[in-house]
């Protein structure tokens, strides 16, 4: 059985890219959904929910950065920082530091 951290990494990887076969093998579909169909539900919804949660908390950052840059930053952040709470309102505690590092690196480039 994989560790919770390994399972979370596989989940995020599957939500943002090609489905990790070992993750899909560990999922049970619900009702008539196969395991792959169940994973596909999250592939469509999970990135949007995290971006939405960050957007609600960091409205001013979104306004300043604009849609394209803010949503790209949300995706990069979500790929590297998994949610640790069942409450999406808790997500993004380290997002300001992430933006500072990310934008600082782009300015130096």
What distance lies between CA 32 and its chain's CA centroid? 26
Other CB atoms within a 10 A radius of the CB of residue 108 amount to: 6
The pLDDT assigned to 11 comes to 86
| Closest listed residue to residue 12, CA positions, set 81, 108, 100 | 81
The pLDDT assigned to 56 comes to 95
Per-residue pLDDT of the chain (109 residues; tens, 9 = 90+): 778 888 888 888 888 888 888 888 888 877 888 888 888 888 878 888 999 999 999 999 999 999 999 999 999 999 888 888 888 889 999 999 999 998 776 666 5
């Amino acid at each position: 059985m994989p560790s919770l951290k390994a399972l979370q990494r596989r989940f995020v990887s599957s939500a943002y890219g090609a489905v990790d076969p070992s993750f899909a093998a560990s999922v049970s579909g619900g009702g008539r959904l196969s395991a792959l169909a169940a994973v596909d539900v999250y592939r469509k919804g999970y990135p949007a929910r995290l971006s939405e949660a960050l957007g609600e908390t960091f409205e001013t950052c979104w306004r300043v950065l604009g849609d394209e840059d803010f949503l790209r930053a949300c995706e990069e952040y979500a790929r590297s920082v998994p949610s640790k709470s069942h409450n999406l309102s808790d997500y993004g505690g380290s997002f300001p530091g992430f933006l500072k590092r990310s934008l600082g690196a782009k300015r130096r480039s």
